[in-house]
Structure 1
């Protein structure tokens, strides 16, 4: 099996609702995302996939959506205050956890025809969540 991985790094802020602990407060991370594609064969160019295509569908979208953004669950009670202050933020229907980020990115790539097999979302250098098709 051949496997290729494209890496994306970005900064974001978030907080987790329904959670007791420090991550219930707004805070930030330097995230690293690994997008993995696998294939038993290579195409005529000798590729599993062109890294440029992975970057266009994955990295460009991730950076446009999440880089240097505050990511909140859509029912976060701080949202009205952010709106009133004119602050930018992004909402998700789920908590912005590493697990949910991994699945969200996986689903986006699959929806755009990228034959992704796994997405690993590193919230920190030592904390990683992976979503794959297994």
Structure 2
């Protein structure tokens, strides 16, 4: 088994409904996403996947949906509508609170399988840093 990882950074705002501390307020992070692919065999060029392919496919989706955007729980539609009306932004809604855990799970379960349908490799791990010192992993 050979693994390779591509790192992608993006900025987004969120808030966590029901949080007992600061995260209940709208705030932002410089997220760092690490996407890890693996394969039992290398391709004809000797790669699991071209790092550029991981970057272009994943970054395109991130840029359209998360980067410089607000990620909210679907139950936070009033705040999302206010922000969208005031700023013209598209708001990205999750079915759950936009914690690092839920964002990473959403990417791994709902988004990545649609982006890499016909691949000779598997995406085996998502690592999402919310801050330089705090991250989650989904395998």
TM-score scaled by length of structure 2:
0.86
1:120 alignment partner in structure 2 = 127
| 1:93-117 deviation line (CA, Å, top 9, x unaligned) | 1111101111122231122225200
| 1:31-81 deviation line (CA, Å, top 9, x unaligned) | 000000112221111010112221222111112110111111111142343
Q: Which runs of 5+ in 2 are unaligned?
A: none
Q: 1:84 to 1:37 in 2, by over 3 A?
A: closer
Q: What's the C-alpha RMSD, in Å, of the aligned pairs?
A: 1.6
Please say which of residues 57-66 and 3-12 is displaced more in the overlay: 57-66
Q: 1:12 to 1:50 in 2, by over 3 A?
A: same
1:5 Cα shift? 0.4
Q: 1:15 to 1:42 in 2, by over 3 A?
A: same
Q: Report how many aligned residue pairs link the two structures.
A: 132
2:50 alignment partner in structure 1 = 50
Correspondence 1:2-81 to 2 at 5 A:
2-76=2-76, 77-81=78-82
Q: Distance in 2 between matches of 1:75 and 1:116?
A: 30
Q: Distance in 2 between matches of 1:25 and 1:69?
A: 16
TM-score scaled by length of structure 1:
0.89
Q: Which runs of 5+ in 1 are unaligned?
A: none
Q: Distance in 1 between matches of 2:45 and 2:84?
A: 49
